[in-house]
Amino acid sequence: MRLGASGAALVGLLGAAAPALSGDYEGSPQVAEFVAEMTRDYGFAGEQLVDLFREVERKQSILDAISRPAERVKPWKEYRPIFITPARIQKGVTFWNQHADALARAEKEYGVPAQVIVAIIGVETFYGGNTGNFRVIDALSTLGFDYPPRADFFRKQLKEFLLLAREEQVDPLMLKGSYAGAMGLPQFMPSSFRAYAVDFDGDGHIDIWNNPVDAIGSVASYFKRHGWVHGAPVVSRAQVRGERIDEGLTQGLDPVKNVGDLRALGWASGDALRDDVPVTAFRLEGDEGAEYWMGLPNFYVITRYNRSAMYAMAVHQLSELLVNARGGR
């Protein structure tokens, strides 16, 4: 992925006038406006960006994927088996053993447990086995210029992507990811890459596509920057009683209530929790019926990675199973 002389020209710094586009985006006023912005605000060379966009392909399959009607929201008893499988646990133990030194160093430097880092990478990409087959620039251009409902977001990500390609001196036509532009083992969007990814092996560039060490450090960096507290619990199973228990359920994910608030509504926990601890209170439909949970501050951090209580629970439970399968830390 490293740039040669011709590839480096794609992310040059000098400005230049932009000729008309050819290819899928020939004559697109949106692309011309974007090129002008990148030239004016970030010092890109207009001619070189136009050359780059000549190679960009509009992918109908990406528009079909993002426009597909939302799948029925699965209950926890159906969602959990997707991510908690013997194969994912076994592969996670292998990944942990292979990268034990990097994981131990990440835990020491960032305070994020090795098992949580491994679980994130396991849930996101099956430890790098499924990182996406779309060129990132095709995905972000297609969605930024041809998907009006979220065009602003994806155009911002396209800007961040071109900046990271220039900073890391990588060919933007070579990098691949998901249909939405998520990249590498940890599936970072470009803005997350620029904000949180780290060169954890110290080789002078950040590679979350092919370098598990950089991916490990980058996940740990993300969690630390979002407030992960080393040694603090993630969730507490609640026992509930009375007619007001549903009043305690959190609308959304932000922890707007605390343990004391829930206690007054009929929630109790076997764990020793201070009344002032903020919680995300949620109910899951498990195999044996309703489960009530208090998501603690570290749980909320996991939801910053993917805004779903079930996702955060899958990561947490996979992390615990990885520890058990490995025979402890």
Q: What is the mean pLDDT of residues 146-155?
A: 98
**Confidence band (pLDDT; 50, 70, 90) for 21?**
very low
124 is catalytic: yes
Q: How far is CA 103 from CA 42, 92, 217, in A?
A: 36, 12, 8
Q: Is it the case that residue 1 has pLDDT exceeding 60?
A: no
| Pairwise CA distance, residues 296 & 302, whole Å | 10
Distance (Å, whole) CA 106 – CA 104: 5
- The mean pLDDT of 293-314, rounded to a whole number, is 98
Residue 256 pLDDT class (50, 70, 90 cuts): very high
In this predicted model, what pLDDT tens digit does every residue of 65-101 receive, in sequence order?
999 988 788 999 999 999 999 999 999 999 999 999 9
Task: From the candidates 124, 247, 288, 291, give the one annotated as an active-site residue.
Answer: 124
Among the listed residues 141, 172, 169, the one whose alpha carbon sits nearest the alpha carbon of residue 154? 141
- CA pair distance 140, 53, nearest whole angstrom: 12
pLDDT band (50, 70, 90) for residue 5? very low
pLDDT of residue 22: 53
Mean pLDDT lowest among 71-80, 174-183, 300-309: 71-80
How many alpha carbons fall within 13 Å on the CB side of residue 118?
Answer: 31
Instruction: Please state the rounded mean pLDDT for residues 37-53.
Output: 96
What is the architecture of the domain spanning 29-68+132-205?
A: Orthogonal Bundle (1.10)
Instruction: Look up residue 261 and give its two tokens.
Output: 């608030």
For the chain, which residues make up each domain, given as ranges?
29-68+132-205
Mean pLDDT, the chain, rounded, equals 93
Radius of gyration over every alpha carbon of the chain, rounded to an integer in angstroms: 22
Q: How high is the pLDDT of residue 18? A: 41
Is it the case that residue 58 has pLDDT exceeding 60? yes
